[in-house]
C-alpha cells in the first residue's frame, strides 16, 4: 500500500504544473505603438500628471517618464498598478474629476494589447487543484454513501438543520438551529479516531477553493493516507456506509477465489467511475483489480482485500484532485461533459456529481445553456445546495472572524455565555439563515443590503432591542437560545448584512469600534473593491491623541490621519462607510453617543450622495444597485471559477451583470448567468499577470 501512495505523489505534482502554452496566442490583437500617444498619454495628461510628475510625485510615482510605448513595455509592473488603481476607482483622488467609463475602457483595451505585443498576455493555463477541506469531506461522504457527517467541519456551523428543505422554496417561520460550537463535545462521531483533514491556507480576497492555494505535499499525502485507512477500517464503517454490501461483502455464490476476483473487478469498474468522477480506462480498472487480487491472496479475506483497494483509490490523484478540464496535449485544453459535471457539482454542492449529473454527462446533455440551466435548477432543489450557503456564504461574509472575535470581557461581559460559546455564535446563525432564505426563496439579492426581516433567537431580540411581544406576539423563554424566529425589524438601521451583529463585532477592536475595519469590510464584501494594505510606516490610530482636556474621538483621529496624502487616497473611500456604522458599539448594540457622552457623527458620502447613519447608507446603495450586484456577482464568480478575476475577464463579467439586472436580480439569476457564461464554460486558470485582480 505504501508503494502506491508514494507513486501517486510525483503524478499529483505533475498535474499541478502543466507546461505553459506558447506566448502571444494566435488571434490576439497587438497594440500599435502610436496608440500610446492617442490613448495612454492623453489619459495621463488629463487625469494623472498633475500629481505624478517629477521628483515630488505623489507616492513617488513619476508617470511623466512614460513618453513612448517602449517605456511602458519596460515597466509593465508599474503599469499594472496604475491600471489596477484606475479600474478599482482609487485613482484619480476623489477631489479630482473622474474619468468616463469610455476613457477607462479604452485605456484597459490598449494595455491588454500591450501585454499581447510584449508576449506577456498568455492563454489561460489551467491548473489541477486538490479538493479543499470541505470538498474532500463532502466527496468522501457521497462516494461512500454515508448518511451523516463523519467530520467535525467548522464550515457547517449547525448540528441540527432539519428545517432546510429547498424543494419547498420556503423557509419556515420557526427554525431549530443548534450549533456545533455549543454542542461540539456532545456530538458522537460517526467514526472515532479520525485524523484532521488537511486545512486550507487563507486566500486574500479569494476563497478556499482558489487553485493557487491548494498545493500538495508529501506530508499531506501521508495525512490523506491516514484518513483513508481510518475511515475504511473504522469500527462503525460497515454500519454507516451505503456501499458496504455492494462493494465490500463477497456474493454468496462466489465461493472460489477466481469468482471473487471477477466480482471485484466488475465492482471496481463502477466504483472507480464515481471515485474519479469520469470514465475510466480498462487499464485503470485492471491496476486496482490486480491490487485486490494480491491482497486477497495475501490476506485470504475478500473484505480486507477490498478495504485495502478502496484506501488506494482514496489516495489516488484522480480522487484527490478536481477534474475541471481535459487536455489532449500540454497546450490544448477543453471542458468536456464530465469536466462540466464536476465544475457544476463543486460549485453548487462542493462535492462530486450525483448519478443524474453523471448520466447527463454520459449522454452529452451538458452542452447548451438550456441543458446546463436544467441541471442547475434541479441541483438547487437538492439539500446539498446548503453547501453554497455554508461554504461560499460564510466565506463571503467573513463569518470566521465572528467566531474568533473576543471583545474585552471586562468591558463587555454580556457578550459571553461561556468561555467558548458567545453571542457571536447566535450572530453567525442569523447571517447563515439570512443567506439560506434569500437562496431557497430565490429572493432579490438586494435584500442582503436592506432586508426588513431576520431570524433572531430570544438573545438577539434583546441584543438588538426588539420587543418579543411586539414582533412575535409572545415572549419566548430566554433558555430557548436554539429557537430562531422570523421577525420584521422595527427599525430601519438594522436589516441585511451591513449592520448585522456579525459584521459589527468582527470589524471592531477588542475595546473600541474601528471605522477603518468596517469601511474596508464594506468595500471588500459588498463591492468587491478591497483597499490595498496600508504602508508599513503608517502610525497606529491609537498613537494619534489630543490633549488631556480634549481627547480625540475615533473620527477626529482619522481626520488627522488623512492629512497624510498617501493615507487620504484610501481613507477617503473607506472612512465614510465606516462612520455610517459608528452608532453601533464594538459588540453591535445601537448607541447615539460615545462612552464620554460626545454625540456620534455618522455622516458621509458615497456615489456623490450624502448620507447619515446605516439606514441612509443602505438607501444610497439600493439606489446604486448595480454596484452591489456587480460586487456580489464577482464574489460568486471567483468562487465558481476557483480563482481570482483578471482584467481580461471583465467584458464577460459585465455581460453577466447586465443579464442579472435585466432578469430582476434574484439569487438564481446570478447563479444561472454565471454557469451559462463563457468564463464558467471555458478551461479554468488565470493568466500569469496579476493585473486587475478583484
What DSSP letter does each residue of 602-645 carry, written as one string?
-EEEETTEEEEHHHHHHHHHHHTHHHHHHHHHHHHHHHHHTS--
Q: How far is CA 535 from CA 540, 567, 688, in A?
A: 11, 8, 26
Coil, helix or strand for 68? coil
Q: How far is CA 488 from CA 15, 50, 450, 667, in A?
A: 52, 52, 12, 21
CA-nearest of 303, 376, 313 to 345 is 376
- Cα(372)–Cα(380) distance, integer angstroms: 12
199, 238: one domain: yes
537, 629: one domain: no
Say if residue 594 is exposed, middle or buried (CB neighbours under 10 Å; 0-12, 13-18, 19+).
Answer: middle
- Cα(512)–Cα(408) distance, integer angstroms: 9
216, 363: one domain: no
Residue 9 placed within a domain: no
Segments in the chain below pLDDT 70: 1-33, 94, 119-127, 154-155, 181-187, 326-333, 534-571, 684-694
Quickly count: other Cβ atoms within 10 Å of residue 600's Cβ.
18
Coil, helix or strand for 255? coil
pLDDT of residue 17: 36
Cβ contacts of 297 within 8 Å, gap of 6 or more: 257
Scored b (16 or more CB within 10 A) or e, 454-482 reads bbbbbbbbebbebebeebbeeeeeeeebb
478, 529: one domain: yes
Residue 269 placed within a domain: yes
CA-nearest of 214, 88, 275, 221 to 642 is 214
Quickly count: other Cβ atoms within 10 Å of residue 149's Cβ.
16
Coil, helix or strand for 603? strand
Cβ contacts of 591 within 8 Å, gap of 6 or more: 583, 584, 585, 600
- Cα(685)–Cα(128) distance, integer angstroms: 9
Say if residue 271 is exposed, middle or buried (CB neighbours under 10 Å; 0-12, 13-18, 19+).
Answer: buried
Domain boundary among 71, 93, 118: 118
Coil, helix or strand for 336? coil
- Cα(342)–Cα(334) distance, integer angstroms: 13
314, 396: one domain: no
Strand (E) or helix (H) holding 288: helix 282-299
611, 634: one domain: no
Q: Phi/psi of residue 328, each to 5°?
A: -85, -20
Coil, helix or strand for 533? coil
Is the separation of the CB atoms in 218 and 652 below 8 Å?
no
Is the separation of the CB atoms in 116 and 24 below 8 Å?
yes
534, 410: one domain: yes
- Cα(14)–Cα(318) distance, integer angstroms: 12
> The C-alpha cell of 368 is what?
447548451
Say if residue 394 is exposed, middle or buried (CB neighbours under 10 Å; 0-12, 13-18, 19+).
Answer: buried
> The C-alpha cell of 242 is what?
451505503
Strand (E) or helix (H) holding 572: helix 565-580
393, 312: one domain: no
Residue 207 placed within a domain: yes
409, 351: one domain: no
- Cα(106)–Cα(102) distance, integer angstroms: 6
Cβ contacts of 327 within 8 Å, gap of 6 or more: 18, 126, 333, 334
Residue 630, domain extent: 625-681
CA-nearest of 167, 141, 172 to 156 is 141
411, 524: one domain: yes
Q: How far is CA 185 from CA 63, 404, 427, 561, 595, in A?
A: 60, 19, 21, 47, 39
239, 257: one domain: yes
Per-residue pLDDT of 659-674, as tens digits, reads 999 999 999 999 999 9
CA-nearest of 314, 316, 367 to 339 is 367
Report the Cα 630 to chain-centroid distance in Å.
15
Scored b (16 or more CB within 10 A) or e, 104-127 reads bebbbbbbbbbbbbbebbbbbbbb
Number of compact structural domains in the chain = 5
Is the separation of the CB atoms in 519 and 577 below 8 Å?
yes
- Cα(143)–Cα(8) distance, integer angstroms: 20
Residue 473 placed within a domain: yes
Residue 28 placed within a domain: no
Q: How many Cα atoms are found within 13 Å in the side-chain-facing hemisphere of 380?
A: 21
Residue 418 placed within a domain: yes
Residue 687 placed within a domain: no
pLDDT of residue 285: 97
Residue 228 placed within a domain: yes
Q: How far is CA 544 from CA 162, 552, 561, 595, in A?
A: 51, 8, 8, 19
What DSSP letter does each residue of 376-409 carry, written as one string?
HHHHTTSGGGHHIIIIIIHHHTTTHHHHH----T
Q: Phi/psi of residue 200, each to 5°?
A: -105, 130
- Cα(496)–Cα(669) distance, integer angstroms: 20
- Cα(408)–Cα(437) distance, integer angstroms: 33
What DSSP letter does each residue of 157-174 carry, written as one string?
-EEE-TT--GGGTS--SE
DSSP assignment letter at 686: B
310, 372: one domain: no
Coil, helix or strand for 610? strand
Amino acid at each position: 500500500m505504501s508503494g502506491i501512495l508514494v507513486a501517486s505523489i510525483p503524478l499529483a505534482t505533475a498535474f499541478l504544473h502543466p507546461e505553459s502554452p506558447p506566448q502571444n496566442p494566435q488571434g490576439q490583437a497587438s497594440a500599435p505603438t502610436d496608440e500610446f500617444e492617442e490613448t495612454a498619454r492623453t489619459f495621463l495628461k488629463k487625469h494623472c500628471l498633475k500629481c505624478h510628475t517629477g521628483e515630488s510625485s505623489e507616492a513617488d510615482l513619476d508617470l511623466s517618464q512614460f513618453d513612448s510605448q517602449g517605456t511602458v513595455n519596460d515597466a509593465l509592473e508599474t503599469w499594472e498598478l496604475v491600471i489596477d488603481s484606475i479600474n478599482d476607482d482609487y485613482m484619480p483622488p476623489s477631489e479630482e474629476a473622474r474619468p468616463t467609463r469610455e476613457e477607462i475602457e479604452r485605456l484597459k483595451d490598449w494595455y491588454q494589447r500591450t501585454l499581447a505585443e510584449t508576449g506577456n498576455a498568455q492563454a489561460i493555463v489551467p491548473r489541477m487543484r486538490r479538493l479543499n477541506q470541505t470538498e474532500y469531506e463532502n466527496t468522501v461522504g457521497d462516494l461512500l454513501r454515508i448518511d451523516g457527517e463523519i467530520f467535525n467541519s467548522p464550515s457547517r456551523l449547525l448540528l441540527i438543520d432539519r428545517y432546510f428543505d429547498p424543494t419547498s422554496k420556503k423557509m419556515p417561520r420557526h427554525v431549530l438551529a443548534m450549533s456545533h460550537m455549543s454542542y461540539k463535545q456532545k456530538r458522537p462521531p460517526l467514526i472515532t479516531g479520525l485524523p484532521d483533514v488537511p486545512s486550507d491556507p487563507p486566500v486574500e480576497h479569494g476563497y478556499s477553493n482558489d487553485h493557487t492555494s491548494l498545493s500538495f505535499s508529501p506530508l499531506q499525502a501521508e495525512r490523506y493516507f491516514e484518513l483513508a485507512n481510518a475511515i475504511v477500517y473504522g469500527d462503525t464503517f460497515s454500519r454507516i456506509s451505503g456501499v458496504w454490501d455492494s462493494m465490500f461483502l463477497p456474493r454468496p455464490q462466489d465461493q472460489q477465489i477466481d469468482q471473487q476476483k471477477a466480482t471485484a473487478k466488475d465492482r471496481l469498474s463502477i466504483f472507480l467511475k464515481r471515485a474519479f468522477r469520469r470514465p475510466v480506462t480498462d487499464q485503470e480498472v485492471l491496476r486496482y483489480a490486480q491490487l485486490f487480487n494480491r491482497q486477497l491472496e495475501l490476506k485470504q479475506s475478500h473484505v480486507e482485500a477490498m478495504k485495502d483497494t478502496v484506501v488506494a483509490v482514496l489516495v489516488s490523484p484522480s480522487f484527490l484532485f478536481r477534474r475541471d478540464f481535459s487536455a489532449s496535449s500540454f497546450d490544448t485544453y477543453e471542458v468536456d461533459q464530465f469536466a462540466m459535471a464536476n465544475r457544476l457539482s463543486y460549485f453548487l454542492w462542493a462535492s462530486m456529481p450525483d448519478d443524474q449529473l453523471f448520466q447527463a454527462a454520459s449522454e452529452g446533455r451538458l452542452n447548451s445553456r438550456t441543458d446546463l440551466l436544467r441541471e442547475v435548477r434541479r441541483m438547487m432543489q437538492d439539500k446539498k445546495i446548503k453547501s453554497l450557503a455554508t461554504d461560499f456564504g460564510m466565506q463571503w461574509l467573513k463569518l470566521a472572524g465572528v467566531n474568533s472575535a473576543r471583545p474585552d470581557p471586562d468591558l463587555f461581559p454580556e457578550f459571553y455565555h461561556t468561555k467558548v460559546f458567545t453571542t457571536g455564535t447566535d450572530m453567525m446563525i442569523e447571517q447563515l439563515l439570512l443567506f439560506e432564505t434569500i437562496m431557497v426563496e430565490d429572493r432579490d439579492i438586494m435584500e442582503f443590503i436592506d432586508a426588513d426581516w431576520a431570524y433572531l433567537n430570544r438573545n438577539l431580540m434583546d441584543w438588538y432591542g426588539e420587543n418579543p411581544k411586539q414582533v412575535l406576539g409572545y415572549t419566548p423563554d430566554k433558555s430557548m437560545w436554539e429557537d430562531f424566529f422570523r421577525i420584521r425589524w422595527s427599525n430601519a438601521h438594522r436589516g441585511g448584512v451591513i449592520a448585522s451583529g456579525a459584521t459589527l463585532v468582527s470589524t471592531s477592536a477588542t475595546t473600541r469600534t474601528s471605522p477603518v475595519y468596517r469601511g474596508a469590510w464594506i468595500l471588500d464584501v459588498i463591492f468587491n473593491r478591497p483597499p490595498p494594505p496600508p504602508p508599513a510606516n503608517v502610525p497606529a490610530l491609537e498613537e494619534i491623541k489630543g490633549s488631556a482636556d480634549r481627547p480625540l474621538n475615533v473620527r477626529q483621529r482619522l481626520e488627522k490621519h488623512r492629512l497624510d496624502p498617501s493615507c487620504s487616497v484610501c481613507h477617503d473611500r473607506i472612512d465614510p462607510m465606516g462612520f455610517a456604522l459608528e452608532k453601533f458599539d464594538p459588540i453591535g448594540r445601537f448607541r447615539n453617543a460615545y462612552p464620554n457622552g460626545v454625540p456620534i457623527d455618522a455622516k458621509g458620502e458615497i456615489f456623490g450622495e450624502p448620507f447619515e447613519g446605516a439606514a441612509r447608507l443602505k438607501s444610497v446603495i439600493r439606489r446604486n444597485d448595480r454596484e452591489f450586484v456587480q460586487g456580489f456577482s464577482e464574489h460568486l464568480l471567483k468562487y465558481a471559477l476557483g480563482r481570482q478575476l483578471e482584467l481580461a475577464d471583465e467584458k464577460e463579467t459585465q455581460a453577466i451583470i447586465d443579464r442579472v439586472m435585466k432578469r430582476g436580480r434574484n439569487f438564481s439569476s446570478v447563479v444561472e448567468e454565471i454557469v451559462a457564461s463563457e468564463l464558467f464554460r471555458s478551461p479554468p486558470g488565470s493568466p500569469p499577470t496579476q493585473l486587475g485582480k478583484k
